[in-house]
Chain A
Amino acid sequence: MKFELDTLVVEEASRDSALAARLVAALGSSVPVSYVADAREAVRPTPGPDPFGAGKRRMVVLKRHTPFLMACPAGSAKFACCGYLVLVLASNCPMDCSYCFLQEHVANNPAFQIYSNYADSFEELDRLSRSAPGRHFRVGTGELADSLAMDSVTGLSKDLIEFVRDREHLTLELKTKTDEIGNLLQTDPRGRVIVSWTLSPEAVWKSSEHRTASPSARIAAARAVLDAGYRVGFHLDPIIAYEGAEKDYAHLIDELLDVITPGRISFLSMGSLRMTPGLRSAARRRFPHDPMLLGEEVPGHDGRLRAFSALRVRLYRIIQQRLARAGRPVPAYLCMETSTVHERVFGVAPANPATIGERLALG
C-alpha cells in the first residue's frame, strides 16, 4: 500500500536524525523536501477548501517537546475502560476515514507529523515500568496515527519491537487499517507485540474508510503476522448501525473466525460510532455524501452522538453472541460505554481499567 505525499518538511533540529535520513532517502526523489528552522508554521492548516486533507499529504519531521506517553483520550471515569496507554510517535494519518476523530482533534495542526526524537520515548517507558514493579502495561502507537501506515519508509516498528521484546512488563500494540506488515515479518517479537486491526464490514469500508486496506486484506495480514509469532487483536470500532448492519457484522465475525481461530485472538474491542457535534459537522463538510455519517445517532449524557441505546446494545449483543458461538471465548470489551451497557452485553460488570489492561497485556 502506497500513500501519496505532496511534500516533506524537515525541521532543522531534526535534519541529522536517523528518521529524517530514512525519509529523505525513501521519499526525496518523488516528493519535494524542504528544511525549516521552526516547524510550527508547517504543521498549521493551510488555506484551501480542505486544510485537514491537505495536512495529511504534508509530512513534517520534528522533535516532540512534550511527553510521548499519555493515557488514552477515550478513557473516562464515566465509562468502562481498558487501561490502554498511548505512545504518541506521530500525529495524523495518510488514510482518510470519514468518521475519524482526528478531523476535530488535530484540526488546528493537521500536518502529518512524525517525531524524530522518538527514541526518547523509550526512557519514558522504562520509567513507567520502574514506577510500578510487577505490573504489566499495554502501550500502543495507534491512537493519533496509524501504527503501520508509513512503516515501510519510517521503519519505526523495527526499533519499537527491538526495544519492547526484552521488557517483560511491556506489551506493544501496533494498531492499523493497512496491510503494511513487511517489516514485522522480518522481526521476531518474542511474544511482546500485539498487532491489532480495526475491522469494518465491506459496506463501511467502501463508504467511509478511504485509502485503507480492504477488510479481507486486513484479516489476511493478521493471519500472516500471527504465523510470524505476533499476537493479534481486533477493534470493531466504530460499529455503525446502518440498515443491514446486524447481518454484515455477523458475516464479518464469521469471515474473521474462518481465518483465525478464536483461541488465537488476544482480544476484540467494540465501540459504537460516537461523534461530538463538532466532529459531525467537520465530517459532514468533508464527506457530504457518506450515509454512514447519518445513522440514527442521538446526543447522550456526554454530549456525543451515538446510535440510540437499544439499537447499539442490540448490535453489540449480536456480535457477542456470534463470538460466543465460536466455541472458545474471545476476550472482548467495550470502548466508551457505561458499566450498565457492559453488563447488558456481557452479563457481568466490567473489571477496573488496570485489571483489564493487565489482562489484555498478558494475553
Chain B
Amino acid sequence: MPHLDDEIRQLAARRHLPDTHLDRWLSLDEPSRAALMEAAGLLRLRTGQLVVALDLLDEIAVRESVSIASVLARPSLHRLLSAPGSVPERAHAFLDELRAMRFPRLRETTARLEAAIAAMRLPAGIAVLLPRDLASDELTIQLVASDAGELNRLIDLLVEKRAELSRILSMIGGGDEV
C-alpha cells in the first residue's frame, strides 16, 4: 500500500524516527502498519514515544502470538485514541497501558502490594516504598519527623504495623499470596 507507506515515511522523517524502527514499522503486516499510523496520528506520538510504542507492541505481539493490529484494537487501547482529555495525557496513558500488557504479572503484583500498603492507613510521616520494578526483595521504610515526639509516635505506629509489614515483605519475596 504505497500511500500508507509514504505517510509512514513522512511521519518518520518529521519525527526523526531511527531507521531501524522505521524499517520495523514498514515490515509489519498492512493492518498493523495502518493501525499504528492511526494511533501515532491521533495521539501525536513524539519520537521517543513512537520508539517505545513500537518496541512494546512488537514484544506484546511476539509474547502472545498475535498481530500488532489486534493489540491496538483492544478496547482499553482503542478508547484512548478518541477519548476526551488532553492529547499528551492520552498518549501517556496509551504507553502506560502498553506497559501493563507487556508486564501483566508485574503490574498485577504491584497493584496488590500497593493495595496492601494503602490498607495500612499510614500517616503522612511514614512511607513504605516498593523496590523499583519489584526487582529486589527489599522494602524501604521512610520516616519523616521534625521533633522527637513525632518520631516516637511514628516508630510506635510502625511497631504496631509489624505484622502487616512482614506480610508485604513476604509478598515481595514470592510468598504464597502473590
Contact = CB atoms under 8 A, between A and B. Distances in A.
Interface string B121-163: 0000000000111111100000000000000000000000000
Contact of A311 (B59, B65, B105, B132): B105
Interface stretch (B2-10, B42-50, B79-87, B169-177): B169-177
Interface string A186-223: 00000000000000000000000000000000000000
A22 interface: no
B133 A298 contact: yes
A300 to B, nearest CB: 5
Contact of B65 (A288, A291, A299, A340): A291
Contact of B135 (A288, A291, A298): A298
A344 interface: yes
A339 to B, nearest CB: 11
Closest 6 CB pairs of A and B: A313-B174, A298-B133, A314-B174, A308-B134, A310-B174, A310-B178
20 contacts: A290-B62, A291-B63, A291-B64, A296-B105, A299-B135, A300-B135, A301-B136, A308-B133, A308-B134, A309-B135, A309-B137, A309-B172, A309-B174, A310-B171, A311-B109, A313-B137, A313-B173, A317-B174, A340-B137, A344-B174
Interface string A298-340: 1111000010111111101100000000000000000000001
B137 A296 contact: no
Given A291-B64, A308-B109, 18 more contacts: A290-B62, A291-B63, A291-B65, A298-B106, A298-B132, A299-B133, A300-B135, A301-B136, A308-B133, A309-B137, A310-B134, A310-B175, A311-B105, A312-B174, A341-B137, A341-B173, A344-B137, A344-B173
A306 B106 CA distance: 12
Interface of B: 59, 62-65, 103-106, 109, 131-137, 171-175, 178
Contacts of B137: 309-310, 313, 340-341, 344
B62 A294 contact: yes
Interface centre among A288, A290, A309 (most CB of B within 10 A): A309
Interface of A: 288-291, 294, 296, 298-301, 306, 308-314, 316-317, 340-341, 344
B62 A296 contact: no
Contacts of B178: 310-311, 314
B109 A310 contact: yes
Nearest to B24: A288
A308 B65 contact: no
B138 to A, nearest CB: 8
Contacts of A314: 174, 178
Nearest to A287: B62
A329 B62 CA distance: 39
Nearest to B138: A340
A341 B174 CA distance: 10
A312 to B, nearest CB: 7
Nearest to A305: B135
Interface centre among A288, A310, A314 (most CB of B within 10 A): A310
Nearest to B65: A291
A340 B106 CA distance: 20
B62 A291 contact: yes
Nearest to A315: B174
Contacts of A290: 62
A294 B63 contact: yes
A306 B133 CA distance: 11
B173 A309 contact: yes
